[in-house]
Homo-oligomer: A and B are copies of this chain.
Amino acid sequence: MVLKTYRQAINEALVGEMRRDADVILMGEDVAGGAGGSGEDDAWGGPLGVTRGLLSEFGSDRVLDTPISEAGFIGAAIGAAAAGLRPVVDLMFNDFVGVCFDQVVNQAAKFRYMFGGQDQVPLTIRTMIGAGLNISSQHSQSLYPVFSYFAGLKVLVPSSPYDAKGLLTSAIRDNDPVIFCEHKLLYDMVEDVPDENYSIPFGEANLLREGQDVTIVALSRMVHVATEAAAVLAREGIEADLLDPRTTTPLDTESILDSVEATGRLVIVDEAGPRCGMASDIAALVAEDGFGHLRAPIVKVTPPHVPIPAAPNLEAMYIPDVARVVEAVRRVVAY
């Protein structure tokens, strides 16, 4: 094992699967380093450096720079997937799903069902989520609740380099359309990541910490905020079960319900919006199927219902932080 960044882990999953299966191709804006220019090819690796080196190894038939036509190239990726390739598409910021939403939620998600199971659409869409870079409300959203609304999609929210590599590997091998949500503040996070390929199954939550007083469910970058909060709480004698679902569709409802059965208390920490979001989704699950074990209100720690501001101070107010999680847990424990 070697320390690797989230960025490297993603790159390794791509390389690994492209070596393993010649049907895996890559498409997206600048993923080949910017085609047609007067400089070097493949020196850039896209806005995030994630795809560097792939063009050189796999060639321009398998690593395709696209025009700024998300509906066009995601539609093309769906068609290519239905015709036997396994495209991995880069959507850059998940906010841009706005310009290709029909392709994602109406075409990719429903292609199999609507035609009675004739086809499969092994498509992976990699896309960046999350606030924290002061780039305002159209480049900072976390839209996995919206993706999770639609049957036919699978949705992943890896919170660490290890999970990113394993889940992306599974996504590429999976025969359904998968949205792989990379949090933009995690790219430089480092962790031990094996060199070899490995896969992590969907729908299996990661139990990061065990405790009997409260269940904390946290997603994506909020896992780290919740981890810190849990450490603070432990010093006060409050022990939390900390769960990272890792995938929102399929969702590991069993682990969540089992944990709440043991603790009787649930706090959900999520950076996505408060209305019809993942926090609501999980709270509603437990309020129906785990009600008998609940000993306190289910508290959701999310941003308020507001677009995301650019200004650093306001953006910091937007994103849930350790203090808010600690306060929420104290409240439910004291209930």
**Which B residues lie within 8 Å of A291 (CB)?**
294, 296-298
For residue A1, give the distance in angstroms from its CB to the closest CB of chain B. 36
A170 at the interface (CB under 8 A from B): no
How long is the Cα–Cα vector from A277 to B71 in the complex, in angstroms? 25
A284 at the interface (CB under 8 A from B): yes
**Which B residues lie within 8 Å of A143 (CB)?**
149
Q: Mark A73-115, 1 if CB is under 8 A from B, else 0.
A: 0000000000000000000000111110111011001100110
Q: Mark A111-153, 1 if CB is under 8 A from B, else 0.
A: 0011000000000000000000000111000010110111110
**Which B residues lie within 8 Å of A189 (CB)?**
none
Whether A114 pairs with B136 at a CB distance below 8 angstroms is yes
How long is the Cα–Cα vector from A95 to B294 in the complex, in angstroms? 38
Whether B276 pairs with A307 at a CB distance below 8 angstroms is no
User: Which residue in chain B gives the minimum CB-CB distance to A109?
Assistant: B307
How long is the Cα–Cα vector from A19 to B283 in the complex, in angstroms? 47
A334 at the interface (CB under 8 A from B): no
Size class of the contact patch on chain A: 35 or more
A159 at the interface (CB under 8 A from B): no
Indicate whether A297 sits within 8 Å of B307 (C-beta atoms), given known contacts A114-B136, A146-B149: no
A235 at the interface (CB under 8 A from B): no
Q: Which of A97, A114, A288, A296 is the most central at the interface, judged by chain B CB atoms within 10 Å of its CB?
A: A288
A330 at the interface (CB under 8 A from B): no
Whether A145 pairs with B284 at a CB distance below 8 angstroms is no
A287 at the interface (CB under 8 A from B): yes
**Which B residues lie within 8 Å of A109 (CB)?**
307
A201 at the interface (CB under 8 A from B): no
User: Which residue in chain B gives the minimum CB-CB distance to A268?
Assistant: B284
A278 at the interface (CB under 8 A from B): yes
Whether B149 pairs with A137 at a CB distance below 8 angstroms is no
**Which B residues lie within 8 Å of A145 (CB)?**
149, 276
A220 at the interface (CB under 8 A from B): no
How long is the Cα–Cα vector from A235 to B149 in the complex, in angstroms? 36
**Which B residues lie within 8 Å of A106 (CB)?**
95, 98, 137-138
Q: Which 4 A-B pairs have the closest CB atoms?
A: A98-B102, A101-B101, A291-B297, A283-B284
Q: List 15 A-B contacts (CB under 8 A).
A: A96-B102, A110-B307, A145-B149, A146-B149, A146-B276, A148-B275, A150-B273, A151-B273, A151-B305, A280-B281, A284-B298, A286-B287, A287-B287, A287-B297, A291-B296
